[in-house]
Amino acid sequence: MPDDFMRFRFNVTFIRNQVNRELIHTFNDNLTDGPDYGYETRMSPVASADANFISEERKLNGNANAFDVDMRIPLELHTTTEQTVNFYLTDIQNFDESQEIFLHDTITDEYFSLRDNGHQMDVPAGTYLNQFQIVFKDANVEILGITEEELGSFSLFQNNGQQALTLLNPNQLDIAKVTLYDVTGKRVFNTTDVNNSKRYEINTKNLSEGVYIVKVNFINGAATSKKVIIGGKN
């Protein structure tokens, strides 16, 4: 690539179907959000397990834009069967080494660094039009950075012995809501009735065993999330 161009190659592998889709995104100051002849390629007919970029309702496996660290690149997934899906980068050209590239799950609001080890997750059959994006900064880290001193040692964990999700809030921050999602991104629990005591517990005995994402939103606009395992039931 010429020095004034940037590019990454992004793979989405559907393990069950043994299908791999390679997507390429190119960046240059002269490229646009609309069609850029010679830099974009349209998808062939969508397979039973497939992924693509989307731009102005065009399904693309090669996309192009001017780079903006705040941009969000929509990613569509389609599978007719339940899948384990692996997201990872195979090539990064002319990006600054400090520039992160994330997969953003908009349902759980989690950010997964694709520069590290990529991300693997299980998804049920379906078409995912709005859940996934490629982004270049973790908005949660930016928010937490503003209030890092205030958040202090806030933490949460699943106490399977007591069948309770425990929030430790030594600075007694005001919590707006606590939400639990399963690994597919489906919301299974939400409460706004959370006081700011130093220790607060949420009963989980009626939830099925499995992996969940807990997201805590604070009144001041900050948010944090953590993966927990609910198990050990008799």
- 184 pLDDT tier (thresholds 50, 70, 90): confident
- Mean pLDDT over the full length of the chain: 88
Residues 6+ apart with CB under 8 A from 209: 230, 231, 232, 233
Does the pLDDT at position 3 exceed 70?
yes
For the chain, domains (ranges, CATH) are 6-137 (no CATH), 141-230 (2.60.40.3080)
Buried b (16+ CB within 10 A) or exposed e, 106-123: ebbbbbbebeeebbebeb
**H or E segment to which residue 90 belongs:** strand 83-93
C-alpha radius of gyration, the chain, whole number: 20
Sign of CA dihedral 109, 145, 138, 114: negative
Does the pLDDT at position 58 exceed 90?
no
Does the pLDDT at position 145 exceed 60?
no
Express each pLDDT in 30-54 by its tens digit. 999 888 888 999 987 778 999 999 9
Express each pLDDT in 108-133 by its tens digit. 888 888 987 789 999 999 999 989 99
pLDDT at 233: 60
Express each pLDDT in 153-175 by its tens digit. 788 999 998 899 999 988 888 88
pLDDT at 47: 84
Check: CB of residue 29 under 8 Å from CB of residue 64: no
